[in-house]
Amino acid sequence: MDRDSTLVDSAGVDEVSIVPWPLLRGKKAVKKAARRIGLNRAWATLIVLLAGLFTVSFTITVLVVSLETIATDLKTTTSTINWALTGPMLAFGVVGPAFGKAGDLWGHKRVFVLGLFFAGVFAALTAVAWNAMSMILFRTLSATAGSATSPSALSYVNRLFHPEERVRPLGFWSFTTAGAPVLGVVIGAPVVAAVGWRIIFIVQAPLCMLGVLVAWRLLPETERIKNVKFDIAGSLTLGIGTTSLLLSINRGHSWGWSSAPVLALMFTGVIVLMLFVRIERRAEAPLLPLKWLRTRNVVFPISSQALTNYAYMGGFFVMPQLMDKGLGYSTSHIGWLVIARPLVFTIVAPSASFLTIRIGERRSGMIGAFGVLCSMVLLSTVGMGTSDWVIAAGLGLSGAGLGLASPALTSLVTSAVSEGDVGVAGAMQQLMTQLGAVVGTTVMITIHESTMNSGLIQSYGYALLSGAFVAGLGIIAASATRPLQR
């Protein structure tokens, strides 16, 4: 296949040219550029993209192990500061698909650079946040802007590399998304313990601005696709409805489950989500194509991923708090333990394909979800005197389970839709997985707060057992898929 041939873009719907550097129109110009530049410039471009992606991703796990510190500094509760993590995850799921379409319409270089720029601006504002509300707002806006880097990076990979060349660059992309949080904990947690949490964003802001300058100078332009459709109404109603329901769950214990504000939030959430479904039925380019809810190898793999991610991310939030409040571990001690989960995920995910080829995607999804279930059960037994090795094993088992299940279930989804719909299916999958994570973190923290009269450590155990139950539902969903025919 010549480098000037066309392939279906991962974002979606139209054919796009694979343009090495810079965008050159016409077959002769493209061939000349390809001979002169080759793949070296493509890899240089990839490095720039992954550096920007790393800059907006490495803060995630640092916040997880610093929630209590931030809450104390801002004179609020940990459950409130949890929204500094929940908000960005929810925004990423809802806004992420829109950034992919925006890149198709206005050019992925522009979207990538603007995303980095505003991520840096709001990171700087997060560093000077004066209360919990301002911190949550600025952090959510920073992460929302930064989420533009992920779909743009994937779109560049699809443009710069042929299908047979994409395995390695996509592997580096996966390693960056999973490895950035690991390095964030290793480097950041001890720094936070010694200097304070604001240093995270004081460092992140100039790194983003440096990335803006490098990306603007070195990234090639991408072609712009006409007639890109945005599901703005769907995005707004999904965001408002989901946030209302989650906020009612999060505040139910402290405000009272029968209080007027909680009931109003629940009612608003249900009504707006019903409106979302009606909008999606009529939308020309729906955020969540409802027709796929009748496709077995779309709805069940995505459901399994969302349910498993409930346990994975819920446990990722709960365990640092258990080790901090329940066991009295230091921030650096917690940091070194929690990296077991993303570290094992980083190792297992790229190599899981060898096992999946042997046993099939369906079984891999089931085994992976079972691994997450076992992790939740093991971690629910943690108490005073529990060995660090047991905690690390439980966390690592969770990472191994998701690392095995996620690629296999993703393969089922992409094989069940047409090539032109792969991008839309990927956006839907990302959306539902993020929603599973957000619901998991909110519900598990709520269970902990509602059962504290049973004992502090035990309340965290109940939250983790809820993760085990939901991961069990993930096993059932994975078992309902159809094996791929080879």
Q: How far is it, in rounded angstroms, from Cα 143 to Cα 158?
A: 24
pLDDT of residue 268: 93
Domain count, the chain: 3
386 in the same domain as 421: yes
pLDDT, averaged across the chain: 81
Q: What is the mean pLDDT of residues 162-179?
A: 66
Q: What is the pLDDT of residues 102-122, one digit of tens each?
A: 887 788 889 899 999 999 999
Instruction: Specify whether 266 is located in the same domain as 415.
Output: no
Residues 29 and 171 in one domain: yes
342, two tokens: 């993303």
- pLDDT tens for residues 92-103? 777 877 787 788
> pLDDT higher for 38 or 386?
386
pLDDT digit string, tens, across residues 274-294? 999 899 888 887 877 788 888
Residues 212 and 86 in one domain: yes
State residue 384 phi and psi, 5-degree precision. -60, 130
Check whether residue 331 and residue 434 sit in a common domain.
Answer: yes
Q: Could you tell me if 477 and 378 lie in one domain?
A: yes
DSSP 15-74: EEE---SS---SHHHHHHHHHHHTTHHHHHHHHHHHHHHHHHHTTHHHHHTTHHHHHHHT
Asked whether residue 269 falls in the same domain as residue 305, the answer is: no
Tokens of 377: 């059960």
Choosing from 282, 301, 322, the residue where a domain stops is: 282
**Rounded Cα gap, residues 260 and 265, in angstroms:** 9
Q: Are residues 208 and 242 in the same domain?
A: no
Among 127-141, 240-254, 358-372, the range scoring the smallest mean pLDDT is: 240-254
Could you tell me if 189 and 300 lie in one domain?
A: no
142 and 244 housed in the same domain = no
Distance (Å, whole) CA 60 – CA 200? 10
Do residues 363 and 470 share a domain? yes
What is the per-residue pLDDT for 25?
42
pLDDT band at 205 (very low <50, low <70, confident <90, very high): very high
State pLDDT tens for residues 293-311. Answer: 888 888 999 999 999 999 9
- 390 with 471, same domain: the answer is yes
Question: Among 221, 248, 282, where does a domain finish?
Answer: 282
Q: Which comes out higher in pLDDT, residue 473 or 20?
A: 473
The answer to whether 380 and 468 have CB atoms below 8 angstroms apart is yes
1-49 pLDDT, tens digit per residue, is: 333 333 333 333 333 333 443 443 444 444 444 444 445 777 888 888 8
pLDDT of residue 474: 95
Question: Is the predicted pLDDT of residue 61 greater than 70, yes or no?
Answer: no
Which amino acid is it at 348?
V
Q: Are 392 and 340 in contact (CB under 8 A)?
A: yes
Whole-number pLDDT of residue 105? 79
Residue 29: give the domain boundaries. 1-229
Report the percent of the chain where pLDDT is more than 90: 27
CATH code (residue 163): 1.20.1250.20
Q: What pLDDT shows up at residue 486? A: 57
Whether 147 shows a pLDDT value over 70: the answer reads yes
The residue from 242, 263, 282 where one domain ends is 282
CA torsion 176-181-187-189 (nearest 10°) is: 180
